[in-house]
Amino acid sequence: GAVVSQHPSRVICKSGTSVKIECRSLDFQATTMFWYRQFPKKSLMLMATSNEGSKATYEQGVEKDKFLINHASLTLSTLTVTSAHPEDSSFYICSAHEKDRFRVTEAFFGQGTRLTVV
């Protein structure tokens, strides 16, 4: 199956700094990618939809100025956590879909990034 690569897998940063997470689709082009946040023992919570060449679409309650998303090419989306605080510590996961004309056929996830803000 298709591969989505996410980097870094783990990052520790100081409060107030910014952290960039990359998500790459390695063998297919993705006009749309998705960013999720996962709390311990919980399901995935969609944060935003990353759209190639245009602005990201954020879910309700997600601060767009805090979580900056850039999707500059068909294979790369980045999530930047700006001015990070300890409460931003979490597991962040990206995904990309393969689809036909009518529906999503497969959705592949990156390996996830464990962010710890100290």
Partner 1 sequence: GQQLNQSPQSMFIQEGEDVSMNCTSSSIFNTWLWYKQDPGEGPVLLIALYKAGELTSNGRLTAQFGITRKDSFLNISASIPSDVGIYFCAGQLKGGSEKLVFGKGTKLTVNP
Name the residues that contact partner 1, by CB under 8 A: 1, 4, 6, 32, 34, 41-44, 46, 49, 59, 91, 93, 95, 97, 99, 102-112, 114
- Check residue 83 and report its DSSP letter: S
Q: Are 30 and 101 in contact (CB under 8 A)?
A: no
What is the rounded distance in angstroms from the CA atom of residue 108 to the CA atom of residue 96? 6
Q: Name the minimum Å distance from CB 67 to partner 1.
A: 17
- Our CB check for partner 1 shows the closer of 13 and 62 to be 62
Report DSSP state, residue 95: E
Taking the least distance from each CB to partner 1, the nearer of 16 and 63 is 63
To partner 1, the closest distance from the beta carbon of 43 in angstroms equals 5
For residue 86, give the 3-state DSSP assignment.
helix
